[in-house]
């Protein structure tokens, strides 16, 4: 819970700090134009990458394979587009990194290994055996 609150407060604080710093260097109007430019450019590239991912997913389906990576990659691209629409430079950097296929694959593999590690630790399986009995035998015993 504390990490979520820190995340909700920390990201906008970093974004405001970066906007003030960049605005001090290139000017306020150029900063606003740069934010709009990165949003429009990022959404355009996310659209192109998303269409490429859909094409790859359909190719996997034609081969009778489940397009697991393509589904996760599509979700990552949608998240990248959302990050690029949100005004700010930190979210734009993360969004652009998710659009690039090499870094997107790195993010997906690092997250998937973390989930696999957590799933392997879950030892809630209790082994046992059972024996079927007839209803008549059960009634005789009682």
* Residue 134 scores a pLDDT above 80: no
23 or 138: whose pLDDT is higher?
23
* Residue 142 scores a pLDDT above 70: no
Buried b (16+ CB within 10 A) or exposed e, 72-110: bbbebbeebbebbbbebbbbbebbbebbeeeebeebbee
pTM: 0.70
The whole-number pLDDT of residue 52 equals 87
Residue 72 Cα distances to 60, 69, 75, angstroms = 14, 5, 5
Kindly state the tokens that stand for 42.
Answer: 């990022």
* Cα–Cα dist 51/55, whole Å: 6
């Amino acid at each position: 819970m504390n990490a979520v609150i820190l995340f909700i407060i920390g990201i906008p604080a970093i974004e405001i700090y970066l906007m003030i710093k960049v605005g001090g260097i290139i000017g306020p109007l150029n900063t606003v134009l740069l934010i709009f430019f990165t949003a429009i450019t990022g959404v355009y590239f996310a659209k192109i990458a998303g269409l490429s991912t859909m094409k790859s997913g359909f190719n996997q389906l034609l081969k009778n394979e489940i397009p697991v990576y393509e589904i996760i990659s599509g979700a990552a691209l949608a998240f990248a587009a959302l990050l690029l629409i949100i005004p700010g430079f930190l979210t734009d950097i993360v969004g652009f990194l998710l659009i690039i296929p090499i870094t997107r694959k790195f993010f997906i593999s690092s997250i998937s290994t973390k989930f696999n590690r957590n799933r392997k630790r879950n030892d809630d399986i209790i082994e046992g055996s059972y024996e079927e009995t007839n209803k008549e035998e059960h009634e005789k015993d009682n």
